[in-house]
Amino acid sequence: MNMVLACLIAYVLGSIPNGLVFGKLLWHVDLREHGSHNIGATNAWRTLGKGPGFLIFLLDFLKGAISVYLGMRLGDTALACVLAGVFAIVGHSCSLFLKFKGGKGVATGLGVIVMMMPVPALIVFLVWLGVVKLSGYVSLGSIIAAALVPVLAWKFGYPAEYIGFGILAAAFIIIRHHANIGRLLSGTESKIKAGHR
């Protein structure tokens, strides 16, 4: 029962559309009407600037981290942590408050793996940062970083539940980036620039 409760809370928490709420509340901008029309940190960065983009990233990151913490406290098993993390990512991407639409789950996913696997999370973040710095493509960095998660989980000897989470989360995030993959292949993907509506 505690595990079910943790998953339900994680889904509701993950569903909170920080980009939409704070975009409207603080900057009077609906992110769904600008840029990629996504409510996540990348579109906030592009549309509103670096500060707002970082704020949305942090808030979405915390959704994942807090959800795993709830899994640890309420379920106290590796499976409970994994399920809470999965529900947070699904909530972010299929929000209860946005007719089951939402962001791509990258920042929330990073929050999940930081709580579950801190060293692999640091490596994944550094790889993401390096790819974005070199290429200018956030989507490419996110796809490569997501694919690394299950490999690092296995390499560092984490439980099978964590490796399974890594595979599932990587597949989910890569699928969510299918349109970006098409644009990357065709050379039409936008590079990251702050504050351009």
Amino acid 141: pLDDT? 94
Amino acid 196: pLDDT? 55
Amino acid 57: pLDDT? 95
| Residue pair 146/109 in contact by the 8 Å Cβ criterion | yes
Beta-carbon count within 10 A of 195 CB: 13
Amino acid 1: pLDDT? 74
Amino acid 195: pLDDT? 62
| CA 15 from centre of chain | 12
pLDDT under 50 in the chain at which residues? Answer: none
DSSP 8-state secondary structure symbol assigned to residue 190: P
Amino acid 48: pLDDT? 93
Instruction: Give the largest CA-CA distance in the chain.
Output: 49
Amino acid 197: pLDDT? 55
What the block records as the tokens of 19 is: 């980009």
Q: How many residues does the chain have?
A: 197
Beta-carbon count within 10 A of 109 CB: 31
Amino acid 13: pLDDT? 97
Predicted TM-score (pTM) of this structure: 0.89
The stretches of 136-159 forming alpha helices (DSSP H) are: 138-155
What the block records as the tokens of 162 is: 């964590």
Listed as own residue / partner, the contacts of 173-177 with beta carbons closer than 8 Å and 24 or more positions apart are 173/89, 173/104, 173/105, 173/106, 173/109, 173/142, 173/143, 173/146, 174/143, 174/146, 174/147, 176/93, 176/104, 176/105, 177/104, 177/139, 177/142, 177/143
Show me where the domains of the chain are located. Answer: 2-186
Amino acid 190: pLDDT? 86
